[in-house]
């Protein structure tokens, strides 16, 4: 039998396989490192892109916040202007009411009675005057009761004055102007 030494051939085959394995392993490590580097770079670019979007959103939110503050300021000014317009409108509407009130007072005052002082707060009237006699004050109260513009006369004081050539009676009275804004039946 021939003696053939197969040992070096096997050793060479093992060494060759070991080199191939090491090469493939090195290639796999390099490919793995490249893939992980690409994934890392991809994530970094996405993070950077998202951070730029976030900073853009923050600047836009800041701009919108200032606009919201401006809008709130404008709404407040609008409310103030509307309130002023309502005040002016109510004054415009009450202007003829004052004229009618004076006209009505003149019509209701009987002969022999005159007013020395007149004041008005809201719808309440305070009247002071002089009369030749107390029945004329009573007639004045009845006239106020029957008036379409005035109501609820109330005399708070009557004082006889006999110093002059003609005796007079000084009186203090209150009455109320009818509120036509809250009632539907009144004329304006």
Whether the predicted pLDDT of 160 surpasses 70: yes
**pLDDT, tens only, 133-146:** 778 778 877 787 77
Q: Give residue 28's pLDDT.
A: 96
Percent of the chain with pLDDT over 90: 38
| pLDDT band with cut points at 50, 70 and 90 for residue 54 | very high
Q: Residue 171 has what DSSP assignment?
A: E
pLDDT at 49: 95
What is the C-alpha R_g of the chain?
52
Q: What is the pTM of this model?
A: 0.45
Give the residue with greater pLDDT, 85 vs 132: 85
Q: Is the pLDDT assigned to residue 161 strictly greater than 80?
A: no
Q: What is the average per-residue pLDDT within 16-24?
A: 94
Those residues whose C-beta lies under 8 Å from the C-beta of residue 76, and which sit 6 or more positions away, are none
pLDDT digits (tens, 9 = 90+) for 68-122: 999 999 999 999 999 999 988 877 776 777 777 777 777 777 877 877 888 878 7
Cα 129 from Cα 114, distance rounded (Å): 6
pLDDT band of residue 123 (cuts 50, 70, 90) is: confident
Mean pLDDT for 164-183 is 71
């Amino acid at each position: 039998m021939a003696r053939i030494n197969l040992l070096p051939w096997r050793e060479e085959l093992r060494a060759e396989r070991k080199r191939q394995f090491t090469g493939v392993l090195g290639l796999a490590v390099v490919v793995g490192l490249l893939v992980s580097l690409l994934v890392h770079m991809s994530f970094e670019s996405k993070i950077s892109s998202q951070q730029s979007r976030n900073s853009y959103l923050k600047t836009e939110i800041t701009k919108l916040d200032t606009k919201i503050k401006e809008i709130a300021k404008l709404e407040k000014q609008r409310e103030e202007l509307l309130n002023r317009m309502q005040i002016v409108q109510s004054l415009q509407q009450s202007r003829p009411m004052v004229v009618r009130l004076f006209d009505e007072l003149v019509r209701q005052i009987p002969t022999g009675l005159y007013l020395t002082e007149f004041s008005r707060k809201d719808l309440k009237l305070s009247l002071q005057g002089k009369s030749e006699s107390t029945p004329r004050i009573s007639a004045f109260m009845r006239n106020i009761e029957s008036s379409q513009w005035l109501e609820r006369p109330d005399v708070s004081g009557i004082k006889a004055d006999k110093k002059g050539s003609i005796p007079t009676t000084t009186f203090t009275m209150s009455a109320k102007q009818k509120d036509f804004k809250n009632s539907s039946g009144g004329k304006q």
